[in-house]
Every structure is written in C-alpha cells, then in structure tokens.
C-alpha cells in the first residue's frame, strides 16, 4: 500500500530538519513538504533535504491551502493512505504508525490530545483550549461522533475519503470545512491518542485571529457555511 505524509511548513527553520529526520526513522512512504512562502532559512533546509518531495508557495497562502495542495499531490502520486502532521515539534512522528493502523476500520483517523491516554508535555494556552472545546462541541452536536479534539492536525485519511471531500478553505479553519465534508459524505471517523505537546504559547494566527473570540467566530462560520454548501 502506497503511503504519503503531507507536512505544511511556514518559517520553521528551527524545527524542520529534526522533524524530518525523525519522520524518516518511522515512515517509509513519500514525504511531501509544502513550504507556504517561508522567509526564514526553511527553503534552504528543504533544498538540502534528501528523500522528500518539496513544494513551495512563493507567497503565504494559508495553512488550509498548504494541506489541500499537499493532498492533491499525494493523490496524483497514487497514495492510498495520507497522513498529515505539523512541523513545529508538537506532533510526535513515532505516532504515525498508530494513525495508519487505525485506518483499518475508519475512513478518517484524527489524533486527540485530550484522551485519557494522551501524554502531556507543556501547558496548553487556555484560549486555545476554550476555542477547541467550543468547536468540538459544535461538531458533536451535529454529527454525534463524540470526538474530543477538533483541531489536531495530526490525522490520517484513506484515499477514498479525500476523494469524496471538496475542500477550498485556505486558512486555519480548513479543518472545520473538512469535518463538515466528512459528515456530509458519511465517512467513518475514529480518534487515537497522541501527545499533547505545547512549545509555542506565543504563536500568532495572523490579523484579527489572535483575538480568541474572533477566531472562534471565524471557525464556526466556516463550519456552518460548509454544512449548508450543497444542501438541498
């Protein structure tokens, strides 16, 4: 079975080399790195990296667009299972095999940092915990899935699942669109425990989205619009 790993990066020179080295120890498939217009040393590091497929946006286009472009490349290369992970040191590559194994009985497998068996390293910023809880609750109210972590970017997908979803959201709310598309396509969803690692408490979401209330409103608007799209 052909596997691909999609890794969006933006100005992550401090971590990208170590993360990719760790990935190579546990993952045997194709590694697709999407550089979303980095202005630091990330492009040079990726040029010198071996065994990866490197893509680059000449300007910053957004987290969602990086994932969407990575998905399209993985599918064009024939991947049957696709994993996504961030490159900021907050996703443990050793968990990749767990996600892939869980695809045996699910269309979409999502890492959860809030299951009882999830290890915790560092304190989660309370505004992110609050926003994540609110959007997770909104998703569960519609779907009944009972998921615990709507915004973990550490996921795995069957090819057939991605082919049934229509994704277009460029920004950070793309996961909300993805959940809506998965629900409308009647895909099966499963969570597996991943480590809760926080090492970027000062992370900026850009523009007005550093305001937690505005960020939550944006996420919920994308969710609601995606649910309505294509409805009879």
- Render each residue's pLDDT in the chain as its tens digit; 232 residues: 599 999 999 999 999 999 999 999 999 999 999 999 999 999 999 999 999 999 999 999 999 999 999 999 999 999 999 999 998 877 889 999 999 999 999 999 999 998 888 876 666 778 888 999 999 999 999 999 999 999 999 999 999 999 999 999 999 999 999 999 999 999 999 999 998 766 655 566 666 777 889 999 999 999 999 999 875 4
> What tokens appear for 154 in the block?
């550490």
d(CA 56, CA 43) in angstroms, rounded, equals 8
Those residues whose C-beta lies under 8 Å from the C-beta of residue 58, and which sit 6 or more positions away, are 37
The whole-number pLDDT of residue 79 equals 98
The whole-number pLDDT of residue 112 equals 93
Those residues whose C-beta lies under 8 Å from the C-beta of residue 70, and which sit 6 or more positions away, are 6, 7, 8, 32, 34, 55, 84
d(CA 211, CA 194) in angstroms, rounded, equals 27
pTM of the model: 0.92
Query: Helix or strand or coil: residue 226?
Result: helix
Distances (CA, A) of 207 to 50, 163, 171, 204, 212: 35, 32, 12, 9, 12
d(CA 199, CA 184) in angstroms, rounded, equals 35
The whole-number pLDDT of residue 232 equals 41
d(CA 175, CA 158) in angstroms, rounded, equals 16
């Amino acid at each position: 079975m052909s596997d691909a790993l999609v890794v969006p990066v933006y100005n992550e020179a401090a971590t990208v080399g170590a993360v990719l080295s760790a990935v190579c120890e546990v993952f045997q498939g194709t590694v697709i790195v999407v550089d979303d217009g980095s202005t630091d040393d990330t492009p040079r590091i990726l040029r010198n990296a071996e065994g990866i497929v490197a893509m680059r946006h000449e300007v910053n286009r957004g987290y969602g667009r990086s994932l969407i472009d990575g998905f399209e490349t993985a599918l064009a290369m024939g991947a049957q299972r696709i994993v996504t992970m961030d490159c900021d040191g907050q996703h443990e590559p050793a968990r990749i095999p767990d996600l892939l194994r869980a695809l045996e009985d699910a269309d979409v497998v999502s890492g959860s940092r809030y299951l009882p068996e999830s290890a915790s390293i560092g304190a989660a910023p309370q505004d992110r915990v609050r926003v994540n809880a609110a959007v997770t609750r909104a998703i569960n109210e519609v779907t009944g899935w009972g998921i615990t972590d709507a915004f973990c970017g550490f996921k795995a997908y069957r090819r057939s699942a991605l082919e049934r979803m229509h994704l277009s959201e460029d920004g950070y709310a793309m996961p909300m669109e993805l959940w809506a598309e998965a629900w409308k396509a009647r895909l099966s969803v499963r969570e597996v425990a991943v480590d809760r690692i926080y090492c970027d408490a000062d992370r900026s979401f850009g523009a007005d989205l550093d305001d937690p209330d505005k960020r939550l409103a944006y996420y919920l608007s994308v969710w609601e619009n995606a649910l309505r799209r294509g409805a009879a």
